[in-house]
Amino acid sequence: MSLKRKTQFVCQQCSYLSTKWYGKCPDCGSWNSLVQETLNFIPDRHERQSGVHKQEPKALNSILGDDLPRLLLPLSEFNRLLGNGLTRGSVVLLAGDPGVGKSTLLLQLLGAITSEKKTPLLYVTGEESTSQIKLRAQRLNITNEAIHVLAQTNLAEILTHLENMNPQIAVIDSVQTLYWPELSAIPGSISQVREVADRLVRLAKQRNISLFFIGHVTKEGSIAGPMALEHLVDTVLYFEGDRGQPYRILRAIKNRFGPTDEIAVFDMREEGLKEINNPSELFLRDRPTDTPGTVVYPAIEGSRPLLVEIQGLATRSSFGVPMRTAVGFDRTRLTVLLAVLEKRAGLNFISQDVYVNIVGGLQIQEPSADLAIISCVLSSLLGRVFPNRAVAFGEVGLAGEVRAVGKSELRLKEALKLGFTTAIVPPNLEPEFGKLHCIRVSSVNDLIDIL
C-alpha cells in the first residue's frame, strides 16, 4: 500500500487551515496559535466510497415528506425535546460541563429502552473502564440486558464492532478521546476529532444507527474541539446546571428533525436524574412573598411556557460610577431600560447600583421580559412589594411605551394554571382571561402608579 502524507497548519482557536505557518492567524487574529500536523493516509476498508452509491435527482413532489422512522423514548421530556422521538440514523451531540450528568443521562436512557427484537445497545467509553460503567449502572438500578459496554479509543476497532453488532443506539463517551490510527495527530486534536466524527457520522447514516456523541465544554462555554462538530451532527443539546443546585436543564440549540430552543428540566438525585414535568413549580418553590424586588415572569422556552422568578435590587452606590450587573439577562438591555426610566419617568439611578438575577440559572433573551425587569427594579427602589399572585410581561420601547409580545395566551394560561390571579400586560390584551384579571399598562408611568 502507498502511504500518503500531508502537512498542514491548524489554528487551535478557530480551526483555520493553512498550508503554511503564520505567526498571527489570518482568520481570528490570535498569535502563535497555528500548530503543524502531519496526516498519514493509508487505504483501508473504511475509506469513503464516494462513487459507489449513485443517486439520481428526484422531483420534489415525488419525495415522501414523512419517511423518517422515529423511536419513541421512555423519557418523555427527552422525547419532546428531540421532536416527538429519536430519528433513526440521526446523530446527536450532548455537551456540558464536566460532572453535570451527561453520562448518567444517556446511561439512564439506554437502561429504560426496551426492544422486542432484543436489538443491542452499545455504550463506548474512552474515559472510564467497564467496571466503572457497571458501578454507575448498579447505582442507577439499570438491568437492561441489551446494553453492551466497550472500553476502546481506537476508532478502527469501534467501527468494526459497530458494523458487526449494528446496534439500535450507540453512545460515544466522549468523542474527544477517540483517535484514528492512521493520523499522526494526538487524540483530541482538531484533525483527529474532525476525522473521528466524520467517519462515525457516515457509518451511522449508512447503517441507520442512532448515535450520541458526548462532548466536553471549555471554560469559555464552547464545545471542546473544532466547531465543525456542530455542523456534522443533526442535533446539538446543551446540558446545563450548577453543582450547588439539584436541577439540570437540557437545551436544544440545533435540531434538524424537531424544534429548537426547547428545554427539558431534570432533578439530580442519588438514584439518578428524574424528569420534572412542571418546571414552573420547581423554579417558584422557594420564592419570597413579602420582599420588594421579586417579580414572576411567564417566559417562553421553545413551545413551552415557563414561570420564572426575576429578582432586582437597587441600592445606594458607594463608588463614583454606579454598577449595572445582570445574571441571566443582557446587561446592555438592563442599562437601556434604566435610561428609559430616568428619561421618561424622571427617576434617578445615577446614585444607585442595580442588580438583576434570573433565579434558577436560566438565560432570558426575550424582549417580553422588559416589563418584569422594570417592575422588580422599581419594586426594590420604591420599597413596595409586588403583588404576590401577579405576573408581568411586555416589551418596553425607548419612548417608555409598553408593546405587545407573542404567545400571550400561552403565558396567561400557565399563570392561571399555577394559581395566579393578576397579570400586568400590554394595553392590547383583554381585561379578563378566564379567572385571571389583566391590568393593562401603556407606559412605564402607568406601572409606577400601580406600584
Those residues with Cβ within 8 angstroms of residue 422's Cβ, 6 or more apart along the chain or in another chain: 387, 389, 390, 391, 436, 437, 438, 439
What is the CB neighbour count within 10 angstroms for residue 108? 24
User: What's the chain's length in residues?
Assistant: 451
Tell me yes or no: is domain 282-450 CATH 1.10.10.60: no
**Pairs from 327-336 (Cβ < 8 Å, separation ≥ 24):** 327/356, 327/357, 327/358, 328/357, 328/358, 328/361, 328/362, 328/363, 328/364, 329/356, 329/358, 329/363, 329/364, 329/369, 329/373, 330/365, 333/367, 333/370, 333/373, 334/373, 336/398
Query: For the chain, which residues make up each domain, given as ranges?
Result: 1-44, 70-277, 282-450
Q: Would you write out the chain's pLDDT as a tens digit for each of its 451 residues?
A: 444 556 778 787 777 778 888 888 888 888 888 877 766 554 555 544 444 456 788 888 887 765 568 888 888 888 888 888 899 899 999 988 888 889 999 999 999 887 555 689 999 999 899 999 999 999 999 988 899 999 999 999 999 999 999 999 999 998 889 999 988 888 887 888 888 999 999 999 999 999 999 987 755 545 555 466 888 899 999 888 876 677 888 988 899 988 887 888 898 888 889 888 888 887 888 888 889 999 999 999 877 889 999 999 999 998 888 999 999 999 999 999 999 999 999 999 999 999 999 998 788 989 999 999 999 999 999 999 999 899 999 999 999 999 999 889 999 999 998 999 999 999 988 777 888 899 999 999 999 988 8
Q: Using a cut of 0.85, tell me whether the model's pTM lies above it.
A: no
Q: Please report, for residues 238, 347, 374, 439, the alpha-carbon distance to residue 444 in angstroms, rounded to integers and kept in the order given.
A: 36, 11, 8, 13
Q: What is the pLDDT of residue 222?
A: 52
Closest CA to 358 of 380, 338, 395, 328: 328
- What is the per-residue pLDDT for 117? 55
CB-CB contact of 294 with 288 (8 Å): yes
Cα separation, 386 vs 380, whole angstroms: 9
Q: Is the peptide bond before 408 cis (omega within 30 degrees of 0)?
A: no
**b/e 38-61 (16+ beta carbons within 10 angstroms → b):** ebeeeeeebeeeeeeeeeeeeeee
H/E stretch holding 307 = strand 304-316
CATH class of 70-277: alpha beta
Same fold, 70-277 and 282-450: no
